[in-house]
Amino acid sequence: MSDKTERLKTMIIGSGPAGYTAAIYAARADLKPVVYTGLEPGGQLTTTTEVDNFPGYPNGIDGPSMMVELQQQAERFGTDVRIGRATAVELSDEVGGIHKVTIDEDRVVEAETIIISTGATAKYLNIPSEQRLRGGGVSACAVCDGFFYKGQDVAIVGAGDTAAEEASYLANICNKVTMLVRKDYMRASKAMQHRVDSLKNLEIRYNSEVDEVLGDQVVEGLRIVNNQTGEKEEIAITGLFIAIGHKPNTDIFKGQLDMDETGYIITDAKSTKTNRPGVFASGDAQDKIYRQAVTAAGTGCMAALDAERYLATIEAAPEEVV
Ligand SMILES: Cc1cc2nc3c(=O)[nH]c(=O)nc-3n(C[C@H](O)[C@H](O)[C@H](O)COP(=O)(O)OP(=O)(O)OC[C@H]3O[C@@H](n4cnc5c(N)ncnc54)[C@H](O)[C@@H]3O)c2cc1C
């Protein structure tokens, strides 16, 4: 094998809906994209059984099958999908500059443009019964999975704005929502607190934590513990939603890309441009608000179009790129 460093036109880091959609557009535009899959080929949707809200699947589809189809669609246009994880980056700050990405701590690959689609990881409580019942009634996405519990009793864990937002969403479709708040107050904004307080079928339990999720194959109930008194109580529920935050998978870009305090990559206005020319960010790695497969796919499309325009402009007149 030659020891010459490989140089790509477009490298896509991540193989979720954002990465594969970027790949479809980039491949069709002849950018010869290479996708590095990371440790979770197919991304977060490979951890869920039913995806009911992605357009084009009238009967729904299971997450892993949907991601295989997206990969096949990207490959149909010539995308090169490689197993590998980006472990370090050296991003140029010059227009037309070459970016360097280390793969698997082993070899460096150069790229004229990079599309970051590394997603985010939902935080869980990490107690054994919760982990065992993930996909069996435990979910970290109320907007994705709440519908399956329509008319039923559910619980949600969390105290921030997202938790309050998801609790109100659930209250609209479920029979009863019990919201567990670890402290004796909520972190959510006053406006969001008023919103949850006004919901008649939502009960907030302060100083309350999950002791155990009950059920063998599916969630049947919850044992709650009051962290002040130690008192335990069981409630009957069929769904448990964990809304304690997400961690964007962006650590390797720290210090080089602008990010918010949580690590979400900041993109420029209505584009996917980052603060480094030729580096674009899409999907959950840059979106803390919507976090859906279809929005990730949408920004993946945008990133490929942004990369294409960037390359076209530097080839024409490098000094005019902004
Ligand atoms: C349980 C669950 C159920 C869900 N259900 C739905 C649903 O029904 N409908 C819906 O619209 N949304 C759903 N979502 C949300 C949806 O999965 C995400 O919004 C979407 O997957 C985000 O896509 P993404 O491409 O940005 O990132 P992800 O899907 O998170 O993919 C990230 C990719 O980046 C890769 N990666 C990370 N770091 C590196 C690295 N250093 N180098 C190389 N690769 C890397 C990973 O291996 C992965 O392939 C659900 C989420 C969860 C957790």
Once rounded to an integer, what is the mean pLDDT over residues 230-245? 97
> How do residues 158-173 score in pLDDT, each as one tens digit?
999 889 999 999 999 9
The reply to whether 6-121+246-320 and 124-242 are identical in fold is yes
Rounded CA separation 292/298 (Å): 10
Give 176-221 pLDDT, tens digit per residue.
Answer: 999 999 999 998 899 989 999 999 999 999 999 999 999 999 999 9
Angle between helices 63-76 and 17-28 (to 10 degrees): 20
Distance CA 278, CA 111 (A): 9
Q: Please report the pLDDT score of residue 1 as a whole number.
A: 47
pLDDT > 70? residue 322: no
Average pLDDT over residues 66-81: 98
Q: Does domain 6-121+246-320 match CATH 3.50.50.60?
A: yes
Asked whether the beta carbons of 114 and 103 are under 8 A apart, the reply is no
Residue whose CA is at the smallest distance from ligand 1 atom 19: 292
In the structure encoding, which two tokens stand for residue 199, read together?
């919901």
Residue 215 and residue 49 in contact, taking contact as beta carbons nearer than 8 Å: no
Is the per-residue pLDDT at 85 higher than 50?
yes
In the predicted structure, residue 2 carries a pLDDT above the cut 80: no
Query: How far is ligand 1, taken at its centre, from the CA of residue 98, in Å?
Result: 27
In angstroms, the CA 258 to CA 235 distance is: 44
Q: What is the pLDDT of residues 272-303, one digit of tens each?
A: 999 999 999 999 999 999 999 999 999 999 99
What angle do helix axes 161-173 and 190-197 make, rounded to 10 degrees?
20
Percent of the chain at pLDDT above 90? 91
Return mean pLDDT, the chain: 95
The residue whose CA is least distant from atom 5 of ligand 1 is: 144
Task: Work out which ligand 1 atom sits closest to the CA atom of 39.
Answer: 47
Q: What is the pLDDT of residue 47?
A: 85
Domain ranges of the chain: 6-121+246-320, 124-242
Give residue 318's pLDDT: 58
pLDDT exceeds cutoff 80 at 305: yes
- Asked if residue 319 has pLDDT above 80, the reply is no
CATH class of segment(s) 124-242: alpha beta
Catalytic positions, written as ranges:
141, 144-145
pLDDT tens readout for residues 149-158:
999 999 999 9
Nearest CA to 291 out of 13, 16, 15 is that of 16
Q: How far is the CA of 120 from the centre of ligand 1 (A)?
A: 6
- Ligand 1 atom closest to Cα of residue 41: 49
Judge whether residue 18 has pLDDT over 70: yes
Substitution candidate for ligand 1 out of 20, 62, 99, 118 with most atoms within 8 A of CB: 118
